[in-house]
Amino acid sequence: MKRKDFWKGFGVALALVVVLNLAWKPICRAIPWHVLPFEISMSKDAKVDMIQSYLDKYYVEDIDQGKLEDTLFAGMLAGVGDKYTYYMPKENLRQYLTNTNGNFDGVGIEIYTTQDGEVVISSVMPGQPAETAGLQAGDVIIGVDGEDMKGKLLSDVAAKIHGEKGTAVTIRVQRGDEEKEFTMERATVEVESVSSRMMENKIGYISISGFKENTYSQFKEALTALQKDGMKGLILDLRDNPGGLVRSVYEIGDELLPEGTMVYTLDKKQNRNDLKCDEKYLDIPLVVLVNENSASASEIFAGAVKDTGRGTLVGNQTFGKGLVQRLFVLPDGSGLNVTVQKYYTPNGTSIHGVGIEPDEKVELPEAYSGTPLTEIPAEQDTQLQKGLQVMEEQLK
């Protein structure tokens, strides 16, 4: 009897093993791996392929494969934890390169990312669609064409706003406590990043909104015209300038700064690279206006002015971006913007996350908070007026 019971029990157990073995494969496919009693190591490629196969087989909707892959690559770079290191799909890269060159189809705004990740309008170009529609410097972009832009990369927001000339775009912004929406038609925008004028007592004024491919040539033209008109001192306005090309700011620095290191960089292997100005420069009194939106390349110039004692900084503490990025273009037309160096002022100071304190700290009147600098009357622009005062004292 015992022997029969044994064989009976053995048969049941064997049948159970067979059933489990047959059922195991579909169970493995259907249940999450974290509930399995073991782990299996996987290569990255194998893991991506497996996830893709699950999505292809089980995801209830159609999949946009291009968007899926772009998001995968974007997530890979986001894992670095540096908001200045990111992936750009083909369209984003095309718009980025066009904008850097100084001409693009868009609405005529310049934007930057705050420390909190908000995308903010730094300047609105006169006579362009954005100005006509009513957008203002200081507006926080929260949506484009109905798509939420909160937390998006700067390149993603820019690519969404740019588009073919003659097409419409709707931009939603946060302005103070209000949300506002503006619809406008895109146009071809030629970026004039430099403006200039002669002020009283032969004090020259040059404003630079960003350092682009054509900025140096525009700056040189403005500087030459002011010199021909008898300029005795120069006020350089870098307020609301989010930065741009290091080469561009270096070329301008070489015109205005004394011989020596303007800035130096260190890469991950601590290799040092110095950008040095030669002995030839325009030796006249210099005042530089800065504010909390003066960033990156603007801070390279401001840091050199402060460390060398070449001029006086007036305004507010700067943004604090002391990193240098390099663009890598991939064979398929997409790209990577990667932080490759940290930069230091001539005295060896890293301003990243800290910014640069001006020599003369001056706030704008509260009544003009959020008002584009171009719309503040010169006599009410307390930072400009302080700059003029400092300049006049130096010219005595």
CB 253 within 8 A of CB 302: no
Cβ neighbours of residue 387 under 8 Å, at least 6 residues apart? 235, 287, 289, 312, 314
321 included as an active-site residue: yes
296 included as an active-site residue: yes
Of residues 28, 31, 171, 175, the one with CA closest to residue 109: 171
Q: Which of 155, 196, 248, 296 is catalytic?
A: 296
Q: Which of 307, 334, 381, 386 is catalytic?
A: 307
Residue 255 CA to residue 115 CA, distance in Å, equals 31
Q: Which of 321, 334, 381, 386 is catalytic?
A: 321
- Helical packing angle, 246-256 and 215-228, nearest 10°: 20
CB 164 within 8 A of CB 186: yes
Residue 96 CA to residue 88 CA, distance in Å, equals 9
283 included as an active-site residue: no
**Terminus-to-terminus CA distance in the chain, angstroms?**
121
- The alpha carbon of 14 is separated from its chain's Cα centroid by a whole number of angstroms, namely 65
Residue 384 CA to residue 80 CA, distance in Å, equals 40
Cβ neighbours of residue 257 under 8 Å, at least 6 residues apart? 277, 281, 304, 305, 308, 310
Residues assigned a catalytic role: 296, 307, 321
